[in-house]
Amino acid sequence: MSIDPIRAGASAIAAAVRSRSMTARAVADAHLARIAALDGALGAYTSVTRERALTEADAVDAAVAAGRYPGPLAGVPYGVKNLFDIEGVVTLAGSKINRTNPPAAADATLVTRMKASGAVLLGALNMGEYAYDFTGENAHDGRSANPHDPTRMSGGSSGGSGTAAAAGMATITLGSDTNGSIRVPSSLCGLFGLKPTFGRLSRAGTFPFVTSLDHLGPLARSTLDLALSYDAMQGPDAADPCCTAQGLDPTTPALSRGIAGLRVATLGGYFRERATPEALAAVDTVAATLGATQTVEWPEVARARAAAFLITATEAASFHLPRLRDRPGDFDPDVRDRLIAGAMAPASLVGKAHKLRRWFRDEVMRVFEHVDILLAPATPCRAPLGGQKTMVLGGVEMPVRANLGLFTQPVSFVGLPVVAVPVWTAGERLPIGVQVIAPPWREDLALRAAFTLERGGACASKVA
């Protein structure tokens, strides 16, 4: 079977590599050549690990030649947001300050697991500084452009992860999502993105942002690729105190089971009041395909979002305090000013924000007694222009940087698993995403719904 290694999904690449119809080396070469040709203009990679990619690809080919099983992701090329440790590479986390740190001594846990599954690492990807960003614009490394219209934002903070996957410069990318940083670039770049349950995937060996809220997960051009990589990365890890010790819940085997019997509803109230008509139309398309006729509401969503905002500002400030004291001039000025403000916020209300989180979780779980899947916009609008500072939502002018995550932030505050699915409207060049939200630990349900949407043609992704 002959495949186009740039456009093929992970399962097709792995099948071709296992059957020796294409070598992992050829897949890696094709991607390295594409990165060399395109990335100067798009700005996805900050470091291309060429030697490592070729070494890993050759090891996969050698395993196949020796008759050994090379793993479910054999030869699948991937990139990681540059807050993941890569052995021998300095973990930038989008900053100038970290450039003077020594190279990472070992891979992050998830990179180790991707490698064990046969995947081939292409390099480290651009991101908003210290992940405090929704635009994909980096003050030091430049912006990650949207491959579907390079004058537009990729979204952030996993901007390079969005750009690389949408441009065919990786089959799968890994990102982090504290308040929306996987789901926002997935929406703007037309990708499928999985933010698992809080505590599901180990964060060990990654540069933190907000310990209480940080999640990791994959972005890809199909639901199947999300499921394959997510399954490869699951598992307990004592090195991350928030990582669950519960067993594995593989999602790939049941992906095509469909959604018969699942109760699907649309989130109303807060999630509809601030969205543009194109965001609402995308949600309604998905709702119609999944047979969702009911609208439900969560209580106090604006307060929940505010609590996530406060926890983020203050915990991030606490983490960065030494850098704010010693090297304030070396930050992205926008990030620095947010962090300094966070260092001065009232602790009494941060304490209440944590209480509100637990209360809000209980309220959300009451809603899940009656539904299995909830739908909401991923971003309030399609990709803004590069450099755009404000946007108008519901008649109010708002800063882009803080508000692209308006709809993602309350959902990750609870820690719910979400698949962002891309919707394309006839006549429009740019996609927009919808959040498919499931109860805690039920990534399988969100992935099954996303797979159903993809198979039914309501959602799709493509190489730009």
Partner 1 sequence: MPDTPPFDPQALIDAMAPLVGIPVDPAFRPGVAANLALIATMANLVDGAPLDEREEPAAVYRP
What residues are annotated to the active site?
81, 157, 181
Closest to partner 1 by CB, 16 vs 416, is 416
Closest to partner 1 by CB, 160 vs 415, is 415
Which member of 44, 93, 267, 310 binds partner 1 (CB under 8 A)? 310
Closest to partner 1 by CB, 331 vs 451, is 331
Cβ at position 97, least distance to partner 1 in Å? 15
> Is 338 one of the binding residues for partner 1 (CB under 8 A)?
yes
Closest to partner 1 by CB, 34 vs 338, is 338
Please choose, from the candidates 122, 23, 12, 28, the residue with its C-alpha nearest in 3D space to the C-alpha of residue 64. 23
Cβ at position 156, least distance to partner 1 in Å? 18
Which member of 274, 359, 367, 463 binds partner 1 (CB under 8 A)? 359
> Is 352 one of the binding residues for partner 1 (CB under 8 A)?
yes
Cβ at position 404, least distance to partner 1 in Å? 15
Which member of 39, 141, 225, 334 binds partner 1 (CB under 8 A)? 334
Please choose, from the candidates 449, 455, 453, 447, the residue with its C-alpha nearest in 3D space to the C-alpha of residue 193. 447
- Mark residues 361-390: x for contact with partner 1 by CB under 8 A, - for none: x-----------------------------
- Are the beta carbons of 249 and 446 closer than 8 angstroms? no
Q: How open is the CA angle 196-127-90, to the nearest 5 degrees? A: 100
Which region among 31-39, 116-124, 258-266, 345-353 touches partner 1 (by CB under 8 A)? 345-353
**Considering only residues 399-418, where is the footprint of partner 1 by CB under 8 A?**
402, 414-416
Which region among 147-155, 194-202, 281-289, 419-427 touches partner 1 (by CB under 8 A)? 194-202
Q: How open is the CA angle 2-5-9, to the nearest 5 degrees? A: 95
Q: Which residues contact 449 (CB under 8 A, 6 or more apart)?
A: 259, 262, 264, 290, 373, 419, 436, 438
> Is 168 one of the binding residues for partner 1 (CB under 8 A)?
no
Closest to partner 1 by CB, 181 vs 461, is 181
> Is 325 one of the binding residues for partner 1 (CB under 8 A)?
yes
In angstroms, the CA 96 to CA 204 distance is: 22
Please choose, from the candidates 169, 174, 230, 158, the residue with its C-alpha nearest in 3D space to the C-alpha of residue 200. 230
Cβ at position 59, least distance to partner 1 in Å? 37
> Is 394 one of the binding residues for partner 1 (CB under 8 A)?
no
Interface positions with partner 1 (CB under 8 A): 197-199, 212, 241-242, 244, 300, 302-303, 306-307, 309-310, 313, 321, 324-325, 328-329, 333-334, 336-338, 340-346, 349, 351-359, 361, 402, 414-416, 440-441
